[in-house]
Amino acid sequence: MRKQSTNNCTPCSGRAFLALLAGWWLLHSTGVFAVEPLSVSGNRILIDGQPGSLAGNSYFWSNNGWGGEKYYNASTVSWLKSDWKSTLVRAAMGVEDGGGYFEDPAGNEAKVRVVVDAAIANDMYVIIDWHSHYAHTHDWSQAINFFKRMASDYGHTNNVIYEIYNEPKQVSWSSDVKPYAESVISAIRAIDPDNLIIVGTPTWSQDVDQASYDPIRGYANIAYTLHFYAGTHGQYLRDKAQIALNNGIALFATEWGTVNADGNGGVNHGETDRWMDFLKSNNISHANWSINDKNEGASALWPGANANGGWPASSLTESGNKVRQIIRTWAGNTPPNPSDCDTVTLPAKIEAEHFCEMSGVQIESTSDTGGGSSVGYLDTGDWMSYNITVPSSGDYTVSYRVAALGSGGVLQLEKRGGSPVYGQLDIPNTGDWQSWTTIQQTVQLDAGEQEIAIAVLGPAWNLNWLDIQSSDNNPDPPGQGIVIEAENYTYMSGVQTESTSDVGGGQNVGWVDAGDWMAYHDIDIPSSGNYTVEFRVAALDGGSLSFERAGGNPVYGTLTIPDTDGWQNWTTISMTVYLEAGRQNFGIGVPRGGWNLNWIRFTRL
């Protein structure tokens, strides 16, 4: 082990120096490396001499005033390690753009060092990225001197990876990028003979095939940068990457996104999954872009997310949630199956996290009624199994408490192993990972002890619980139900009442506009279970309503109100929801106005 040289970061503060000194003492007092060395053999990056790959996160540009710099702290690194199970972070130090290294070398280098020190303290690998599109056109000595300082101060650790050119644009590999790279590599290797060095490739680090025809020679442990964005780059780029691998060079996806190459657009789940399969099958390590709260699709965080980590699922964007799941499961970091599994006798409500076996799912806290945990991060092919005892053969109503940020989710109830299939349900878009609604199906089950499973046929939804009740022996037989006259609201905003010509006369609520609402408090629900909730409506041009807990969360469901061709031409629409026993406060929201409401009726199924 080499002795660490004096820290050459002239602008570093006393606090930064003490942090460096503490890191030096921890490393050198133990005499043991906390992470294994990386090396290159042919077209593979090896971890301690064995095939493998790393999964982690790239920070946003470090540039002053760009917004992402607030996340360059030890707390976020620690959170990524503990919660996301990341084994890798990337410090993307902006160079020539405003607020970057050329304008503020001291400030930007200090940000990088904070991330590097934290990664070492958390036993993670860290990429030191010269985040430039024009590095070969600048004074090379600036990159050389920067990486000499990094190599002198950190080259004795196995943690550090040098990325010497982020994304060259549409330039020549052999005439532009390669000469620059060889000069920087030579300077690093004079100090650090073995840590991994990654070299960017032309066309925003996509033309890895060009580099494979004229690779850098004479130095060990060199890899090449592959960047992709799933919304833009598909099979054609994987084909180029395969050519590079076939020609014998090693690749590292130091930056990739789930969305379009400009950072915008929605998550392309299918193409992202195909890219992950390609990386896994070829042992290619990767860092996702980016840990930031910028209002764009590629950001992992919603605007305003805590600058120090500790992010709940609600702080993660669709991309952030998907990437977190990818990283957590990359090296088998999935929650363990319970050590024992109780068999549940029907009728019963089963908490989703009390599975007996599972594949691919994760457990998280839930803000649904009753708190506790839910199962989330569900991808196509995941499943959970439960042991149940069915007292008698017959029809059973199965209710599922679900939440989803988008559409496309599908669940399948089946016997453990996949056959027979009892039924399938589409998961509605509830608007948020913690906005819950209840869906149900009726299935036929045979008597006896058995294993059932919930399989994920369509991804991206959460499950809090399932409730299985006999349809043949309902404890609360159907009746007239609980009727609430619409005008008997406890509170309201924006609506008016008027006389109605509907059957029974009386009054109805009208002049209903988008954003109006009505609340009905202290509604006594006699028993927990599934209820049909009917709404007596009239409309001249249609509209929509939402049925929710008073206050707006959770939303039990939404309904489209048909055009009845008159304000007093009445029809009844309905939804099925699961309601808990006891006094409840309900609300009617108005996503789209232009309708009247006469009454609401609850009937136990």
The set of catalytic residues is 167, 255
Tokens for 126, please give them: 């860290």
- Total length of the chain: 605
Find out whether 192 and 175 touch, Cβ atoms under 8 Å.
Answer: no
CB atoms within 10 A of CB 164: 26
Nearest Cα to 258, choosing from 301, 317, 298, 295? 298
Q: At what angle do helices 178-189 and 140-154 cross, to 10 degrees?
A: 30
Compute the distance between CA of residue 146 and CA of residue 182 in angstroms, rounded to an integer: 15
Which phi and psi angles does 74 have, rounded to 5°?
Answer: -65, -30
Beta strand segments in 446-551, E: 448-458, 462-470, 482-485, 491-493, 496-499, 507-512, 517-525, 529-539, 543-549
DSSP state of 301: B
Structure tokens given for 276: 């992950």
Return left, alpha or beta for 206; rule: phi > 0 is left, psi -120 to 50 is alpha, else beta: alpha
Q: In what order do the strands lie in the sheet with 50-51?
A: 38-41, 44-47, 50-51
Q: Round to whole Å and give the CA distance between 243 and 228.
A: 16
Q: How many CB atoms lie within 10 A of CB 6?
A: 7
CA distances from 310 to 23, 74, 529, 531 (A): 24, 12, 36, 38
* C-beta separation of 510 from 498 below 8 A: yes
412, HSE (Cβ side, Cα atoms, 13 Å): 18
